[in-house]
Amino acid sequence: MSQRKKAVLIVVSALLVIGLFAGGLYLTSIGDYKAKVDALTFDEIDLTKVEDGIYEGQCDTGVVRATVRVTVRDHRLESIELLEHENGRGTPAEAILGQMVQEQTTAVDAVSGATCSSKVIRKAVENAITEGLPY
């Protein structure tokens, strides 16, 4: 075998090993992300106990993260502003913000096809509202 063929074989082999390693890391990170989303728990918050104010909350699962600003007035969700939403194809999940204000609860259904983003946004809102609870 010529020197050139050996060099090409070594380069191709090295690229294959690097590709397999990178693919393994990617699959591990996706698995960790899915586990973080599955581990999210939700509590129904009694808005009558939340003090009026403007609160920020966030949720970060690695692949998907959201930061929100929630305005509570007269113990009602007046508005929810999405400050950041890093997502894959989860943009449709942003529709749950208006639904939460309309229904006056964080306990809304996830958007089909954007379930993970829906959960992350919902948890960010819950985290914000929790800031308004007396300790």
List pLDDT tens digits, range 65-101.
Answer: 999 999 999 999 999 999 999 987 889 999 999 999 9
pLDDT band at 7, cuts 50/70/90? confident
**DSSP run (H or E) holding 112:** none
Q: What is the largest CA-CA distance in the chain?
A: 81
Task: Read off the amino acid at residue 96.
Answer: I
Q: Which tens digit of pLDDT belongs to each residue from 11-63?
A: 888 888 887 777 666 666 666 778 898 899 999 899 999 999 999 999 999 88
Instruction: Measure the CA–CA gap between 104 and 124, rounded to whole angstroms.
Output: 16
| Predicted TM-score (pTM) of this structure | 0.79
- Distance between start and end Cα atoms, the chain: 76
Contact of 122 with 70, CB cutoff 8 Å: no
